[in-house]
Amino acid sequence: GDSVTQMEGPVTLSEEAFLTINCTYTATGYPSLFWYVQYPGEGLQLLLKATKADDKGSNKGFEATYRKETTSFHLEKGSVQVSDSAVYFCALSEINNAGNMLTFGGGTRLMVKP
């Protein structure tokens, strides 16, 4: 079945450092790919998405490119802020026998220090 693997955290960075969180996926078809962010005590918020190969999703300085050849969707940001501290989830969506469903990775906690 479909699966998503992302790097384990926590990732600890200083403010203004460059961020990369790796994400790879396994899917039978052509999924849409997502990054969600979860702040403490809150639900998940969609950060960005890409629906086909070579698409780049971007939002709030974060970017990720849908790489079909490497089945990857790595999250990057050029200069992180303390307010970016959260848990980040990579996910895919593929319509299958279970209907529309999101398959999530295990999450990566990011901690940004001033």
Partner 1 sequence: ETGVTQSPTHLIKTRGQQVTLRCSSQSGHNTVSWYQQALGQGPQFIFQYYREEENGRGNFPPRFSGLQFPNYSSELNVNALELDDSALYLCASSSTGANEKLFFGSGTQLSVL
Among 37, 89, 92, which residue's Cα sits nearest to residue 60?
37
Confirm or reject binding of residue 107 to partner 1 (CB under 8 A).
Answer: yes
73 contributes a contact to partner 1 by CB under 8 A: no
Q: Does 7 bind partner 1 (CB under 8 A)?
A: no
Binding of partner 1 at residue 93 (CB under 8 A)?
Answer: yes
DSSP code at position 83: G
- Selected binder of partner 1 within 29, 43, 70, 114 (CB under 8 A): 43
Closest CA to 36 of 64, 13, 17, 55: 64
**Quick one: 71 or 96, whose CB is closer to partner 1?**
96
Residue 84: partners with Cβ closer than 8 Å, 6 or more residues away: 19, 77, 110, 112
User: Of 33, 26, 40, whose CA–CA distance to 74 is shortest?
Assistant: 33
Is residue 25 near partner 1 by the rule CB under 8 A?
Answer: no
Q: Out of 51, 56, 59, 79, name the contact with partner 1 by CB under 8 A.
A: 51
Give residues in contact with partner 1 (CB under 8 A).
Answer: 4, 32, 34, 41-46, 49, 51, 89, 91, 93, 97-107
